[in-house]
C-alpha cells in the first residue's frame, strides 16, 4: 500500500510539474512575441494563457454546451466505428479469404484524406449530425480492426493445444481464449481512435454545421483579433475533449483487463 501511495504521489507530482511548466512556457513565448519580437497581432497568434483561461471562465457555459454536442456525436461515431472494426477483425480472423478480400479495401480507405472526405460526405448526407457520426466512425474503424486482428492472432500455440486437448468447440476457443487475448490490442486501437474521432467531428463542424466546438472556432476565427481569446478557448476545449476520450478508454481498459502487467501491483499480484 505504501508503495502504491508513493507511486500515485509521484505521478501527481509529475503531472503538476508538467502543467506548471507548460503554463510558464506558454506565458514566456507569448511575452516574447508581444514585447521582444513585436510580432504583428501577437495576441492573436499566441495570447497569454491566463487571458485565455479568463475568457474560458466567462464563456464556460456556452463552451461546455457546444463541447457536449461535439463530444456526443464523436462518441456515437466512435462506438459505431469500433463495432464495425471489431466485427471485421473477427471475420478476418475466421477466414483468410475474407481477410484477403477486405483488408486491401480497409487499407485503401485510409489513403483518402479526411480533409477532402469530410466536405464530400457532408455534401452528400446534408445533415451535420450524421456527417459527424460517419466521419468519427470512419476514423475509428481502421485502427480498431487492425489492432483487434493482431490481438486475436497473438494467442500462443500451446494455449490452442490445451483447448483442443479439452475438446473445446470453436466458439469456446473464441470466447474463452481469443477474445480475452485480443482485449489489450483492442484497447490500444480504441485509445488511438478516440481522440481522432473528436478531431473528425470538429472538422465536419467547420464545413457549416449549426452547433459544436468547430462552429464556435470558425466564427471566432472569422471575427478576427477581437475574438482571439475565445478562439483559443475552443482550441483548448477540443484538446481537452480528446484527452477526456483517451482517459475514459484508459479507465475502461483498467477495469476490463486487470491482468495486464501495467495494472498489476508491484510483485506481480493482481
**pLDDT tens, residue by residue, 209-238:** 788 898 898 888 877 677 888 899 999 999
**Structure confidence at residue 260 (pLDDT):** 80
Tell me the per-residue pLDDT of 239-257, one tens digit each, with 9 for 90 and over: 999 999 999 999 999 999 8
Distances (CA, A) of 141 to 82, 99, 155, 186: 6, 15, 23, 11
Tell me the per-residue pLDDT of 117-137, one tens digit each, with 9 for 90 and over: 888 888 888 887 888 889 889
CA atoms within 13 A on the CB side of 112: 15
Looking up cell 450524421 gives 130
Tell me the per-residue pLDDT of 24-67, one tens digit each, with 9 for 90 and over: 999 999 999 888 888 887 788 888 998 899 999 999 899 999 99
**Structure confidence at residue 270 (pLDDT):** 45
Tell me the per-residue pLDDT of 70-117, one tens digit each, with 9 for 90 and over: 999 999 999 999 999 999 999 998 888 888 888 888 888 888 888 788
List the grid coordinates of 241: 475533449
Summarize the confidence of residues 178-191 as an average pLDDT.
91
Residue 267: phi and psi, rounded to 5, are 105, 0
Domains along the chain with CATH numbers: 1-46 (no CATH), 60-259 (1.10.3720.10)
List the grid coordinates of 103: 483488408
Summarize the confidence of residues 16-21 as an average pLDDT.
90
Length of the chain: 270
What is the rounded CA–CA span in Å between residue 262 and residue 83?
A: 26
**Structure confidence at residue 6 (pLDDT):** 65
Q: How many CB atoms lie within 10 A of CB 160?
A: 14
pTM of the model: 0.83
Distances (CA, A) of 218 to 202, 207, 244: 10, 9, 22
Alpha carbon 89 to its chain's center: 20
Amino acid at each position: 500500500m505504501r508503495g502504491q501511495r508513493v507511486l500515485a504521489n509521484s505521478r501527481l507530482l509529475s503531472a503538476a510539474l508538467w502543467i506548471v511548466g507548460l503554463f510558464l512556457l506558454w506565458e514566456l513565448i507569448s511575452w516574447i512575441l508581444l514585447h521582444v519580437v513585436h510580432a504583428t497581432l501577437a495576441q492573436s497568434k499566441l495570447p497569454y494563457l491566463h487571458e485565455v483561461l479568463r475568457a474560458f471562465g466567462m464563456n464556460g457555459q456556452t463552451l461546455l454546451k457546444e463541447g457536449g454536442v461535439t463530444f456526443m456525436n464523436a462518441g456515437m461515431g466512435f462506438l459505431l466505428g469500433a463495432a464495425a472494426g471489431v466485427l471485421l477483425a473477427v471475420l478476418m480472423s475466421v477466414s483468410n479469404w475474407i481477410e484477403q478480400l477486405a483488408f486491401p479495401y480497409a487499407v485503401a480507405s485510409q489513403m483518402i484524406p479526411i480533409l477532402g472526405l469530410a466536405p464530400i460526405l457532408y455534401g452528400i448526407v446534408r445533415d451535420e449530425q450524421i456527417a459527424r457520426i460517419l466521419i468519427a466512425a470512419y476514423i475509428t474503424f481502421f485502427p480498431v480492426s487492425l489492432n483487434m486482428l493482431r490481438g486475436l492472432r497473438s494467442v500462443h500455440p500451446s494455449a490452442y493445444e490445451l483447448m483442443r486437448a479439452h475438446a473445446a468447440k470453436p466458439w469456446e476457443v473464441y470466447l474463452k481464449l481469443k477474445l480475452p487475448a485480443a482485449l489489450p490490442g483492442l484497447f490500444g486501437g480504441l485509445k488511438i481512435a478516440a481522440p481522432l474521432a473528436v478531431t473528425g467531428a470538429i472538422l465536419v463542424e467547420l464545413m457549416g454545421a449549426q452547433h459544436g466546438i468547430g462552429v464556435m472556432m470558425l466564427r471566432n476565427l472569422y471575427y478576427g483579433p477581437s475574438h482571439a481569446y475565445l478562439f483559443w478557448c475552443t482550441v483548448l476545449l477540443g484538446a481537452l475533449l480528446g484527452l477526456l476520450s483517451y482517459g475514459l478508454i484508459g479507465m475502461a481498459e483498467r477495469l476490463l483487463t486487470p491482468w495486464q502487467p501495467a495494472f498489476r501491483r508491484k510483485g506481480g499480484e493482481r
